[in-house]
Structure 1
Amino acid sequence: MQWQVHGERPIYENPWVNLWLVDVQQPDGRRWEHHVVKLRHLAVAVVLDDQKRVLMMWRHRFITDTWAWELPMGLIEEQDGETPEQAAAREVEEETGWRVKSVKPLIYGQPANGITDSEHHVFRAEADVYTGPPTEVNEADRVEWIPLADIRAMIDRREIVSSGSLIGLLYLLLDEATKS
């Protein structure tokens, strides 16, 4: 059943997050204003090396006051004409100091589509060369190559919790498990 949109208006807007009220009508006829968070879209990279290791960053997220491993990820600069693939490659180099030689679509997701329009474009990438320390110094406490074989246990221990990282890593594990 499809909800009908009668209109929408912004409540708060800035370059990172926008809050809108959307006048919606549910299939049962009930009509009300629903809060919607409009976000810029995200590119995520699962970078593998030739030893079946994944490039990850250990970082703190102040919102939840937690530490966890994450994949390189960041906002797509669509206003500058940047594609999701270009954003993924750029974020890897800025956040880790590694350049990638290939970027291929892995999976697409909408992590909370009942409240936000956020899109996550997740790519599989091959490591190419280390170009030097990360230029984005506020992203991670450390950057490491994690064996793919360790990823499942890390997820189970809640050492990996971000949706972009989980989606990419779980899909990669599925790909690797189903290779013929």
Structure 2
Amino acid sequence: MNEQHNPWQINGEKTIYDNPWISVTEFDVINPSGGKGIYGKVHFKGYAIGVLPLDEELNTWLVGQYRFPLNQYSWEIPEGGGPFHFDPLDSAKRELLEETGLVAGQWTKIMEMHLSNSVSDEHSLIYVARDLRQETACPEETEQLQVRKLPFEEAYQMVEEGRITDSVSVAAILKVKLMLADGRIS
């Protein structure tokens, strides 16, 4: 099987919804089995950026906020959007400062991933921020945030217990746990 071959045939498309952050397109398709149908795609107009800050004592910071789409409260690593025309690292620096007031002297990109590839093209980049210093947070007006400093191991336990469910946060915390275990981070 050729992994580069697209088995979907697109016969038409129409934009159903569009705003500054996302657009939704409905495609008239013939699926890989030859059946006619529709497929909806959510296109994101920027990156999903995640930052796991980690200090010398292996503490991290989580951000708590009420998530409108889930209708529930969520604990997460600092994260947000980054326009495609900006350097993703600059977006990561901005998000970390906005949400926690932290500035980092050392940055490492630890992973890239697609967040919900059955319905969207959202692409995430995740960084670890080290060599931290505290400044003043300046969250966006739409954000009512609670910032919590805690031992990284406690954040890991929150993932293990299902108290952190945000996919970017879960992936970042599990990746850093592996990196700590095999010595890539100390």
Fold shared by both chains (TM-score > 0.5): yes
Q: Of the candidates 144, 159, 165, which is equivalent to residue 163 of structure 2? A: 159
Contact 1:57 / 1:140 at 8 angstroms: preserved in 2?
no
* Alignment pair present for 1:84 and 2:65: no
Q: Equivalent of 1:60, from 59, 66, 70?
A: 66
Aligned to 2:75: 69
Alpha-carbon deviation of 1:93? 0.3
Q: Secondary structure at the match of 2:117?
A: coil
Corresponding position of 1:132: 136
Cα distance per residue 1:113-137 (max 9 Å; x no partner):
0100001111111142211233435
Contact conserved, 1:3 with 1:24, CA < 8 A, in 2?
no
Structure-2 change in CA distance of 1:5 and 1:92 (3 Å): farther
TM-score normalized with structure 2 length: 0.86
- Give yes or no for the alignment of 1:26 onto 2:24: no
Shift of 1:138: 4.3
Distance 2:174 2:102 in 1: 22
Within a 5 Å distance, the mapping from 1:88-127 to structure 2 comes to 88-127=92-131
Distance (Å, rounded) in 2 between the aligned partners of 1:140 and 1:152: 24
- Give percent identity, aligned residues only: 24
Question: Given the alignment of the two structures, is residue 174 of structure 1 paired with residue 147 of structure 2, yes or no?
Answer: no
Structure 1: runs of 5+ lacking an equivalent: none
Question: Aligned equivalents of 2:83 and 2:21: distance in 1?
Answer: 11
Cα RMSD (Å): 1.9
Aligned partners of 2:99 and 2:145 also within 8 Å = no
SS at match of 1:91: helix
Which ranges in structure 2 are unaligned for 5 or more consecutive residues? none
- Post-superposition offset of 1:60: 1.5
Q: Give the TM-score normalised by the residue count of structure 1.
A: 0.89
1:1-45 deviations in Å (ceiling 9; x for gaps)? 643242433111111221101233322211322011111321111
Instruction: Give the AA of the match of 2:80.
Output: G
Counterpart residue number, 1:43:
49
